[in-house]
Amino acid sequence: MEQGWSLREAIDYYKGRNAPQDQQALVALLREVQEHSDGTIPAAALDEIADALKLKKTFLSAVVKRFPSLRTEEAPHLLEMCGGERCRKRGCRELHRYVEDAFQVKSGGVSKRGGFQFKVTGCMKNCPNGPSLKWDGTLYSGADQQLIQKLIDDK
Ligand code: FES
């Protein structure tokens, strides 16, 4: 975590702005923690926030999952790949297999090697431009191995 910034002070500040009752304030706190922690929210910080705001850790984890831009140490990034029929015709299955083999991860799991969570989803409503994927919630068209490798390398 960055020097000159204190998790305790950030928690107190957002408590004063009605977190956790106001979910926007809670998400703003999580974003601030992430920004001050090299782009991922440390597990210890999640524990401290849960304790200080009297929240269940499962609730906090659910909030983090709902916002793909929030990243934790366990799952710093989220790779979602379309498994819909039209993308399948465009070769998405081969891409799924590539991800599974190259990064040793199955859908629903976390790749320790690549540092991302992997999910095969339903249609992303981008069929004419498939294969479709989302990286941290941003949609990409015409996905191929090079794109996947670049997203993972650039993270
Ligand atoms: S089937 Fe992939 S975007 Fe529709």
Q: Are residues 137 and 104 in the same domain?
A: yes
Residues 3-36 as b/e (b if ≥16 CB within 10 A, e otherwise) read eeeebeebbeebeeeebbeeeebbbbbbebbbeb
Is 123's C-beta closer than 6 angstroms to any atom of ligand 1? yes
Residue having the nearest C-alpha atom to atom 1 of ligand 1:
84
For residue 141, report the phi and psi dihedrals to the nearest 5 degrees: -105, 165
Regarding whether 39 and 20 lie in a shared domain, the answer is yes
Distance CA 148, CA 135 (A): 9
Cα of 107 from ligand 1 centre, angstroms:
17
Entry pTM: 0.60
Calculate how far, in angstroms, residue 6's C-alpha sits from the geometric centre of ligand 1: 44
Alpha-carbon distance of 103 to 81, in angstroms, equals 14
Same domain flag for 82 and 40: no
Residues 89 and 146 both lie in one domain: yes
Residue that finishes a domain, picked among 25, 46, 66: 66
Task: Extract the tokens encoding 99.
Answer: 């991800």
Query: Are 86 and 144 members of one domain?
Result: yes
Residues 82, 144 within the same domain: yes
Digitized pLDDT (tens) for each residue of the chain, 155 residues in all: 556 799 999 999 999 999 989 999 999 999 999 888 866 788 899 999 999 999 999 999 889 888 877 888 766 788 999 999 999 999 999 999 999 999 999 999 888 777 788 999 999 999 999 999 999 899 999 999 999 999 987 76
Same domain, 62 and 81: no
Range of the structural domain that residue 95 is part of = 77-153
- Radius of gyration (Cα) for the chain, nearest Å? 18
Please tell me whether residues 109 and 57 are part of one structural domain.
Answer: no
The two structure tokens encoding residue 110: 């976390």
CB 106 within 8 A of CB 118: yes
Cβ of 133 below 6 Å from ligand 1:
no
Q: How far is the CA of 126 from the centre of ligand 1 (A)?
A: 5
CATH number (domain holding residue 86): 3.40.30.10
